Structure 1
Amino acid sequence: MQFFLDNIDLFRDAFLNTLGLTFFAGVLALVLGTVLAGMRVSPIAPLRGLATTYVEIFRNTPLTVVFFFVIFGLPQIDTVLPFFAGAVVAVGTYTAAFVAEAIRSGINSVAPGQAEAARALGLTFSQTLTTVVLPQAFRTVVPPLGSVLIAMAKNTSIAAGFSISEVSSLLARLTNADPNDLLFILLGVVLAYMVITVPAAIALNRIEHRVAILR
């Protein structure tokens, strides 16, 4: 317990970094994933092919490899990102592939008549997608989308291996801790992740019930 109290500032900073990484990567994943989902149902074949290629590559590539590419590969083409920004890009672009598939499943669940009616009114594909289809699709994908984002929050732990002060990076300090403090440190790390994921799960559950009434 004393080790935890002596390093409270370190724990606080690591938790805030994890929270920030989860938030910014989540925003990036949602925006990019939505764009990719729209591209995957686009009538333009090159856009569908590009989005499909992106999704398949990132879904079948370990997140650690994506981190290596962003942190060590981009500098080879004169693109250097700060470690935190690089972690946001790595986690966000990786998660976007799974977000895209979740949203695409929601788009496919919308009755075809909805899009046909929108086109009959003279709406373009992009107008139909953004004003008619996506609002309905998002209601059906809250549970799978929530699972993807919660998994993303836990995936941020990989950032600890790339010199980023993140909650799981505190485990490296176990070697310097008194054996009696190991349990407190482990519980602290677990609780830190739960502080992020449990409220998120509760919020998503409430959103799911609320939009279910509106269907």
Structure 2
Amino acid sequence: MDFIGAYSPDNLRFLMEGLKITLFVAFIAIILSFVIGCIVGTIRYAKVPILSPILMVIVEVLRNLPLLLIILFVQFGLPEIGIKMTITFGAIVALTAFEASMISEIVRAGLTSVPKGQVEAARSSGLTQMQTLWHIVLPQGLRKMVPPLVSQFISLLKDTSLAVIISLAELVHNAQIIMGQNSNYPIPILLLIAVIYFVINYALSLISKRLETKTA
């Protein structure tokens, strides 16, 4: 094991460049999947005719496919029908599609957890369905959504490493290149990226606990 050589300034700089890509892809995918997941989950909760059953089928298909398969399909399957993307954009699309399906279920479950009696009381008091959703259902459902949502975001961040299969220059991809330079580098480099992932994900878990406390 060569910790000094593995942690040379050039290698660390190269790893940080990969980390930037990892965080960028994860951040964009988190924002997009959260927005799409909230919309889809709300529509399914409201049981909008025609649209809700269609979304249910799409969500179930995506949730039950391996993320790796979705990444490969976006990068190599879509170009066959004329839809070409850069590696970075393709990774974002694949992650967003998969995670949005997961988040939509979290949102739908959170909204469904609100007692029906409160919904019925709100409607009987004159509130519209949208007003009931906004003022009664969402505030209560959000409290139960926070922990699983953050857990899903943590999973998304870790799942960016799967994009190494399409040569996305993220953290694990760059780590592999460094480890290929010297047979004494693997353990030091693997330990370092393990620490990086742990620090980031642990920070997110602390944020989750704080948000959970504030919404309690």
TM-score where L is the length of structure 1: 0.90
Give distance in 1, aligned partners of 2:156 and 2:129.
31
> How much does 1:124 deviate?
3.8
Contact 1:3–1:177 (CA<8 Å) still a contact in 2?
A: no
Give distance in 2, aligned partners of 1:86 and 1:126.
35
Give distance in 2, aligned partners of 1:64 and 1:99.
18
Give distance in 1, aligned partners of 2:146 and 2:78.
34
Q: C-alpha offsets along residues 91-144 of structure 1, whole Å, 9 cap, x if unaligned?
A: 111011111111111111112233334434544433432343222211112122
Residue 129 in 1 paired to residue 133 in 2?
A: yes
SS at match of 1:49: helix
Indicate which of 32, 46, 56 corresponds to 2:36: 32
Structure 1, gaps ≥5 residues long? none
Question: Aligned ranges for residues 1-215 of structure 1 at < 5 Å?
Answer: 1-5=4-8, 6-173=10-177, 175-212=179-216
Q: C-alpha offsets along residues 70-108 of structure 1, whole Å, 9 cap, x if unaligned?
A: 112222232222211111111111011111111111111
Give distance in 1, aligned partners of 2:128 and 2:51.
16
Structure 2, gaps ≥5 residues long? none
SS at match of 1:193: helix
Deviation larger for 123-132 or 151-160 = 123-132
Give distance in 1, aligned partners of 2:206 and 2:198.
12
Give distance in 2, aligned partners of 1:171 and 1:131.
48
> How much does 1:175 deviate?
5.0
Q: C-alpha offsets along residues 170-189 of structure 1, whole Å, 9 cap, x if unaligned?
A: 34225533333222111121
Give the fraction of aligned pairs with identical amino acids, expressed as a percent: 34
Contact 1:19–1:196 (CA<8 Å) still a contact in 2?
A: no
Give distance in 2, aligned partners of 1:204 and 1:138.
12
Code of the aligned partner of 2:116: P
Cα RMSD for the two superposed structures: 1.8
TM-score where L is the length of structure 2: 0.89
Work out the number of aligned pairs and report it: 212
> How much does 1:57 deviate?
0.4
